[in-house]
Amino acid sequence: MRYRTQAVAYPYWVVALLLYGLQMVFGLLAIVKYLGPDPIRAVLPFDVSKAIHTNLLIVWVLTGFMGAAYWLVPEESRTELYSPRLAYWQLGLFTAAGVTAVVGYLFRWTAGNKLLEQPYPVKLAIVVVMLMFLYNVGMTIWRARRLTTTEGVLVAGLAGAAVLYLPALLEFDNYTVSIFYRWWTVHLWVEGVWEMIQGGLLAYLLIRLSGADREVMEKWLYVIVGLTFISGILGTAHHYFWIGVPAYWLPIGGIFSALEPLAFLAMAVYAYAATRRSGLAHPNRMAVHWTIGSVIYSAFGAGILGLAHTWPSVNRWTHGTMITAMHGHMAFFGAYVMIVLAVVTYAAPILFGRPHEEHETAIGLWAFWLQIAGMFGMTMAFATAGISQTYLERIIGLGYLETQQKIQVHFLMLLATGILFAAGVALYIYDFFFLVPRGHREPTPWPAAEPVEA
């Protein structure tokens, strides 16, 4: 570690990984309920397990992002963090808000709005957390008088996430209007500012792992985030299909969301070019695995699988089927889960003062490949379930319940591959908590200094 206060990231990632593990429990529960019958329907019905599953995802990925920012900002701005104490308080408050929400759901305390189920007081607490974060990071950069493009993109992404959370606080009597603004938060997060965060973290990792030239990397980073917003802002329209908004959103949604894969493709080219130019000789090979994995899976999951059902004439038939779950799972995993795990994997040996090479453990590799294989299988299970559902229920006109019975076999496959995936997650957590700290030693000297830029 170059700066002592970078260690603030550690508790953030501890919380993030624990919640990631918990997310798996509720995901597996949800699959079992799909298979049915459900003996605990009265105590923990499907809607509760689903809300907890998705909310844990959002909370832990955000926690991971903020941890990554606390790791990266001191290093980029070459200074200590403004206030580690504030960062700890912030983590405490965020964890408390997240846990309150999850426990609340168990007792049916919910706003019942998809992905924004957090009850109002919890939403306010989240806003306070975001403000604490932005203040702390802002003051750090301000005092250092040094802002690199990489950290600028990352922090702007997080600031954007905070701003775009505000529409979630509004309420409308008209359901169509409330859906309209719900997507300002949800879509403009995951296909806007979160992609910015992903881009910033990717640039950081590529610079560190491949030793690529910072000037060149940051130059193209602007192109990536530019493409993200050019396609992503109007791409919001792909959520404005069939919900009672003017018809011009249909072609706009079709065209601009068809452009959305460009940003992910650009990231892939970006990573490829960086490794071509400078090689990937970094000894932390696990971090290289996760970084490259993230690029490939996000291009596939967010880019191609999104494109698969975004054209209005296709979406007319697939809207509201398991096809959406197919895209959602791989996109989130590839773009956001994997990039957080990449940063954690990269930083862990440095945090624990171990040589990078020793970070490639057999368990670490299993954790990686099980998650990769598990998510691939799950995506295929959702896809086959979704295609069958679209055909039987939407095209042939079979009843919903009869269709669900006919596609049970895909849910079995989902369960099997979901178990593989969860095993990968468990191994990752085990690796992080038990293997790495055991050989704790004095920090090794910082690896070869990066070229200092102007």
Partner 1 sequence: MTKRQTRAFFYAGTGVFGAIFIALTIDSHRQFPTLTHSDRITPAVIAGKHVWHRQNCVNCHTLLGEGAYFAPDLTKITQQRGAAYLKAFLKDPSKFYSEERDRRLMPTLALSDREIDELIAFLDWVGRIDTQGWPPRPILVTGAAIPGTEAVGAPPRAAASSDPVALGEALFRRTPPGCSACHSTAPGVNVVGPSLANAATVAAQRVESPDYHGKATDAAGYLRESILDPNAYVVQGPTFSSGGRSLMPSDFAQTLEPRQVDELVAYLMTLR
* Minimum distance, C-beta of residue 91 to partner 1, in the bound complex (Å): 28
How many residues bind Fe ion (CB under 5 A)? The answer is 2
Q: DSSP state, 169?
A: G
Residue 195 binds Fe ion, judged by CB under 5 A: no
The interface region with Fe ion, picked from 96-104, 120-128, 180-188, 220-228 by CB under 5 A, is 180-188
Token couple for 10: 């550690």
The three-class DSSP label of residue 66 is helix
CA–CA gap between residue 75 and residue 70 (Å, rounded): 9
Which entry of Fe ion, partner 1, ligand HEC, none binds 187, CB below 5 to 8 A by partner kind?
Answer: Fe ion
CA–CA gap between residue 261 and residue 304 (Å, rounded): 7
Interface mask (CB under 8 A) for partner 1, residues 78-117, using x and -?
------------------------------x-xxxxx--x
Which entry of Fe ion, ligand HEC, partner 1, none binds 191, CB below 5 to 8 A by partner kind?
Answer: Fe ion
* Minimum distance, C-beta of residue 360 to Fe ion, in the bound complex (Å): 36
Check if the beta carbon of residue 225 is closer than 8 Å to that of residue 196. yes
* Minimum distance, C-beta of residue 36 to partner 1, in the bound complex (Å): 4
Residue 191 binds Fe ion, judged by CB under 5 A: yes
Residue 387 binds partner 1, judged by CB under 8 A: no
Q: DSSP state, 321?
A: S
Residue 311 binds partner 1, judged by CB under 8 A: no
71 vs 105, beta carbon nearer ligand HEC: 105
Residue 147 binds partner 1, judged by CB under 8 A: no
CA–CA gap between residue 279 and residue 260 (Å, rounded): 28
**N residues, the chain:** 454
Residue 174 binds partner 1, judged by CB under 8 A: yes
Which entry of Fe ion, partner 1, ligand HEC, none binds 450, CB below 5 to 8 A by partner kind?
Answer: none
CA–CA gap between residue 214 and residue 227 (Å, rounded): 20
Residue 342 binds partner 1, judged by CB under 8 A: no
Residue 215 binds partner 1, judged by CB under 8 A: yes
Written in H, E and C, the secondary structure of 380-442 is HHHHHHHHHHHHHHHHHCCCHHHHHHHCHHHHHHHHHHHHHHHHHHHHHHHHHHHHHHHHCCC
Q: DSSP state, 335?
A: I
For partner 1, which residue of 4, 92, 96, 226 counts as binding (CB under 8 A)? 226
The interface region with Fe ion, picked from 181-189, 273-281, 356-364, 417-425 by CB under 5 A, is 181-189
215 vs 357, beta carbon nearer partner 1: 215
Residue 444 binds partner 1, judged by CB under 8 A: no
> Residue numbers of the site for ligand HEC (CB under 6 A)?
45-47, 401
Identify which of 93, 53, 136 has the alpha carbon closest to the alpha carbon of residue 328. Answer: 53
Instruction: Provide the phi-psi class of 97: left if phi over 0, else alpha when psi is between -120 and 50, else beta.
Output: alpha
For partner 1, which residue of 33, 282, 327, 356 counts as binding (CB under 8 A)? 33
Question: Among all chains, which residue has been given the structure tokens 């909370």?
Answer: 59
Q: 400: how many CB neighbours lie within 10 A of its CB?
A: 9
The interface region with partner 1, picked from 35-43, 79-87, 281-289, 365-373 by CB under 8 A, is 35-43
- The alpha carbons of the chain give a radius of gyration, in whole angstroms, of 22
The interface region with Fe ion, picked from 87-95, 128-136, 179-187, 244-252 by CB under 5 A, is 179-187
Run of H or E residues at 151? helix 149-165
Residue 446 binds partner 1, judged by CB under 8 A: no
* Minimum distance, C-beta of residue 237 to partner 1, in the bound complex (Å): 8
* Minimum distance, C-beta of residue 257 to Fe ion, in the bound complex (Å): 7
Residue 187 binds Fe ion, judged by CB under 5 A: yes
Sequence-separated (6 or more) residues with CB below 8 Å from residue 298: 198, 264, 267, 331, 334, 335, 338, 339
